[in-house]
Amino acid sequence: MPRPFYHPSLKEITLDGLLHALSDPTRRLILFNLIGCEGKSCSQTCDNLAPSTLSFHYKVLRDSGLVRSEKKGIEVMNVIRKDEIDSKFPGLLETIYNLQKTTVKRKQIA
């Protein structure tokens, strides 16, 4: 039987941990693709990465408290812990989303 995923409690989530998780552009893109969704599998958020690389990035996002993952059949569904993060760090996710949206638009134009 597979081990359950670790999800830190709200009390354990720190700004340093969140900023570390968000310091990588791949993880910011994953988070950007999860915003507004009720859940996506790992492969639905970043299809150009090797499964092991994607798994690593999701682990960092989970360990920081940004993402909650749940195994459903053979897939792992992921959601942002938006309400919890917003209650502890108001405006953080919205700011990150807006900055990432600007970055994605710039890359599409270039």
Give residue-wise pLDDT tens across range 13-53: 999 999 999 999 999 989 988 888 888 877 777 778 888 99
- For residue 58, tell me if it sits in a domain: yes
- For residue 18, tell me if it sits in a domain: yes
- For residue 27, tell me if it sits in a domain: yes
Give me the domain span that covers residue 27.
10-100
- For residue 17, tell me if it sits in a domain: yes
pLDDT at 3: 76
pLDDT at 79: 94
- For residue 96, tell me if it sits in a domain: yes
* Tens-digit pLDDT profile for residues 43-78: 777 778 888 999 999 999 999 999 999 998 888 899
Q: How far apart are CA 88 and CA 74, in angstroms?
A: 33
- For residue 106, tell me if it sits in a domain: no
Q: How far apart are CA 36 and CA 79, in angstroms?
A: 9
- For residue 105, tell me if it sits in a domain: no
- For residue 4, tell me if it sits in a domain: no
CATH at residue 28: 1.10.10.10
pTM of the model: 0.86
